[in-house]
Amino acid sequence: MNRDFILLLLAATAAVAGARVFRAMLRRRSVSLVDASVDTEAPDILGDEPAGASRVARWLSLAGYRRPSAASSFIAAQVGAIIAAALLALLLNRVGAVEWMVRWLGNIPGGVGETFQAIAILAPWIVFLIVAFVPILVVRAARRDRVRQVEKDLPLALDLFATLAEAGLGFDSALARIQESQPARRALTMEFAAFQREMLAGVPRLQALRQLAQRIDVTTMTAFTSALIQAEQIGASLAETLRHQAEDMRDRRRMRALLLAQALPVKLVFPLIICFLPGIFVSTLGPALHQMIKVADSVLRNVR
């Protein structure tokens, strides 16, 4: 019992440390992307984050979880996942699942199963890590989906924005038209709606743009808001600025599509090897192996 308690305590400590390291890596990566974009596009345009802002709350806000209880709910879910993972790992040890898998792998002829016995021995720890990181993976998936939505919708919104601005509509009217043309539950549409609410509440446009970039925290959106802030400060034409941003965004989207297309053959290598090579081996070597087995069987019968 003391041994199980010590193992449980060590596992919980390792999971908490791993979660903190994982969150720190994600935060450093996100901050580095934004800093690089701001340094190259428009230095000192975006304001700094509040010093007292919680890091967990900031990370959850970037993923779309912005309720006041989001941080406490995430911490409670993380603690519950760690406890559930530890109990599940102990249950696997108690019922003898590890020993059964080791024996089953040892019975495979040819010594093939012995290669996987180490994985079977580490199965409780693998299950523990997978279950313990479920809340982090869920938030990370939500953040990736949010970034994907913004990067997908922003080029089309910029094209429409530039067209409406060239047609003579003002900034607020064009933004309202864009919101009407986009689905209401998309991340970019909801952020534009929050931007409009801030403007109606009396927040200056420059500050609202800075807050918009901070809430989304995507490189393309940071470049867009930085260009708008610069145009507002120096008095440049809004329509011309939006047209340049739309063309730049379209070029970036085209280059990203080309990069993905060039990486496709490399990604297809592993599915082809896993799915097609076994079938090719069976179809080509199967008859020969069958004949060899028949010859060996006949030889063994004659010897007996």
> Each residue of 56-102: pLDDT tens digit?
888 888 888 888 888 888 889 989 988 988 888 888 878 887 778 77
Q: Which of 235, 217, 238, 231 is nearest to 158 (CA)?
A: 238
CA–CA dist 206, 227 (Å, integer): 11
Residue identified by tokens 């869920």 is: 138
Task: With beta carbons less than 8 A apart as the criterion, state whether 167 and 54 touch.
Answer: no
Q: What is the mean pLDDT of residues 109-115?
A: 62
Token pair listed for 186 = 């998309």
CA 159 to chain centre: 27
> Each residue of 154-181: pLDDT tens digit?
888 888 888 888 888 888 888 888 888 8
User: For residue 53, what pLDDT band results from cuts at 50, 70 and 90?
Assistant: very low
pTM above 0.85, yes or no: no
> Each residue of 253-296: pLDDT tens digit?
888 889 888 888 888 888 888 887 777 777 787 777 778 877 87
Close Cβ partners of 289 (under 8 Å, ≥ 6 residues apart):
none
| Residue 67: per-residue pLDDT | 86
Please count the other Cβ atoms lying within 10 Å of the Cβ belonging to residue 163: 16
| Residue 13: per-residue pLDDT | 55
Burial of 292 (0-12, 13-18, 19+ CB in 10 A): exposed
Residue 184 phi/psi, 5-degree rounding, is: -70, -25
| Residue 52: per-residue pLDDT | 35
